Amino acid sequence: MKLIVATNRSPYNVKKEKNHVTLQKTDGGLISALDPVMKENGGVWVCESDTLLKDYDVKLPYPIKQIKLTENETKHYYDGFCNTQIWPIFHYFPAKYKFHIKDWDFYKQVNQKFADEIAAIIETEDIIWVHDYQLMLLPKLLRNMGIKNKIGFFLHIPFPNFEIYRIFPKRTEILEALLSCDLIGFHTESYRKHFIECVKYFLGSQAGIKENLIQYKDITSKVIALPISIDYKHIEKTAKSSKVEVKLSKLKDNFNNQIIGLGVDRLDYSKGIVEKFEGLELFFEKKPEYIKKVSFVQIAVPTRVNVTEYRKLKRQTDEAVGRINGKFSRDGWTPIHYIYSSVKFEDLIAYYRLADFIIVSALRDGLNLVAKEYVSTRINNSGTLILSEFTGAAEEMPYKYLINPYDSCSIAFAIEATLKGNEDKKTSEMANLRNYVSQNDIFKWFNIFLNELKQ
């Protein structure tokens, strides 16, 4: 038996340097979570990529089968249906949504390409695990090709409530396709309930629902809530490493031992980065005594740069940084240090260690791994996680500093509260969080899902 994992994105790409190529891991939540378990458990990873790894002399940690998309497929399937249609609807941004039938046709076409690739390598005992919103039709297409193997599906983004989901014209087709799986997983109980509510409404009496089982046509799907996690041990070990210690001490010197706040997000409107900056602006306005004492570092990783909404967001973010830095900068001190690029893993961990608090201000987020990563690096149990109530992580973790990112006052207040907070209380809260994440790591998540699927 082998595990076949299917995701849109390739876990690895090649980096071409002068005379040689190196293998480079891709950033992003899903890859960060799945790569360590694939390294440990093995299997085949099927994904899309514009540069095929098989054309280079690189050693892969596990077999990766890549599918090349045409320019039109990337435009209509990825930029179009995935990121201009599903993403805004599933993240509660109907105003950013516009239906284009051509995008849907390409979505079907690309999902079929994945089905063909899997059909070519599958053997009788294999198990298929499909991931995320880019491949929601894949389970049904596999069944159409006569594949009877176990199929699991995990959605990494929220599943919206009925009132939002009903806006989506292909609502019934997507539900039917997901119900071709033996196991369907969501991060939270809310998303699981939303899914069942939508099945009831759109499939009516055709779907027999009994607790967490849905019988549709000749398949029974089990529907579970299972929040994803991180490789806690690896992150904690890296946080304690001498390499990170050296980087941390350089960062501390650069920032003159000021109090540091941190944000780490893909530059996506769902992450609430502009809203976070508005909260910071209000904080410095109301509490000028913190000027020159607190600095905020925002790592914003470029993403989906061909999609109009993301280009607009880039301009809005640049403007907000310019305005706030223009307003409060003094004698060589600037309130916001804005890094518009991806940083190396060890550098990211050094920033986590540097930060006295982190702000996760997502307007909507399936889970949010950054919250769990930050907690895992707090080796002295110091620091505060300020967390949006609209993340799956807020529903799951034992949190204390919840914010409503739509309300700048809520963010400004949380920053002040953490700066003035009792140190012993903060330490015991962080210890609780660390304990929780260490007990519920990515390997536990992976094993629970796979064991459920094998049953």
- Residue 311's Cβ-side half-sphere holds a number of Cα atoms within 13 Å equal to 6
C-alpha–C-alpha distance, residues 67 and 14, integer Å? 15
- Answer for which of 86, 178, 264, 414 binds ligand GDG (CB under 6 A) is 264
Residue 31 CB, shortest distance to ligand GDG, in Å, is 8
DSSP class of residue 78?
A: I
Q: Which of residues 345-364 bind ligand GDG (CB under 6 A)?
A: 345, 348
For ligand GDG, give the closer residue by CB, 137 or 264: 264
C-alpha–C-alpha distance, residues 232 and 435, integer Å? 10
Active site residue 194: no
For ligand GDG, give the closer residue by CB, 202 or 401: 401
Let me know: does 346 contact 247? Beta carbons within 8 Å.
Answer: yes
Residue 448 CB, shortest distance to ligand GDG, in Å, is 15
CA nearest 403: which of 230, 283, 232, 225?
Answer: 283
Q: Which of residues 324-343 bind ligand GDG (CB under 6 A)?
A: 342-343
Let me know: does 298 contact 314? Beta carbons within 8 Å.
Answer: no
Of the candidates 91, 156, 187, 194, the residue annotated as catalytic is 156
- Answer for which of 30, 89, 321, 412 binds ligand GDG (CB under 6 A) is 30
C-alpha–C-alpha distance, residues 111 and 122, integer Å? 16
Reported as type and span, the H/E element at residue 385 is: strand 384-388
Active site residue 365: yes
C-alpha–C-alpha distance, residues 375 and 13, integer Å? 29
Q: Which of residues 155-174 bind ligand GDG (CB under 6 A)?
A: 156-157
For ligand GDG, give the closer residue by CB, 49 or 298: 298
- Answer for which of 33, 350, 358, 433 binds ligand GDG (CB under 6 A) is 33
For ligand GDG, give the closer residue by CB, 198 or 369: 369
CA distances from 143 to 147, 148, 240, 450 (A): 5, 7, 47, 20
The 212-251 site mask, x for binding ligand GDG (CB under 6 A), equals: ----------------x-----------------------
Of the candidates 103, 268, 365, 441, the residue annotated as catalytic is 365
Within its chain, how far is the Cα of 128 from the centroid?
A: 21
317 binds ligand GDG (CB under 6 A): no
Residue 428 CB, shortest distance to ligand GDG, in Å, is 26
Q: Which two tokens stand for residue 367?
A: 């889970």
Residue 3 CB, shortest distance to ligand GDG, in Å, is 18
38 binds ligand GDG (CB under 6 A): no
Residue 372 CB, shortest distance to ligand GDG, in Å, is 8
Residue 395 CB, shortest distance to ligand GDG, in Å, is 12
C-alpha–C-alpha distance, residues 129 and 378, integer Å? 33
- In the bound state, the residue with its beta carbon closest to ligand GDG is 29
For ligand GDG, give the closer residue by CB, 32 or 221: 32
Give SS3 for 60.
coil
415 binds ligand GDG (CB under 6 A): no
For ligand GDG, give the closer residue by CB, 177 or 300: 300
CA distances from 316 to 88, 174, 272 (A): 18, 33, 12
CA distances from 68 to 57, 140, 440 (A): 18, 22, 36
Beta carbons within 10 angstroms of residue 173's beta carbon: 17
Within its chain, how far is the Cα of 325 from the centroid?
A: 29
* Amino acid identity for residue 310 in this structure: Y
- Answer for which of 373, 396, 429, 441 binds ligand GDG (CB under 6 A) is 373
88 binds ligand GDG (CB under 6 A): no
* Amino acid identity for residue 354 in this structure: L
The residues annotated as belonging to the active site are: 156, 365
Contacts to ligand GDG by CB under 6 A: 27-30, 32-33, 156-157, 228, 264, 266, 299, 301, 342-343, 345, 348, 365-370, 373
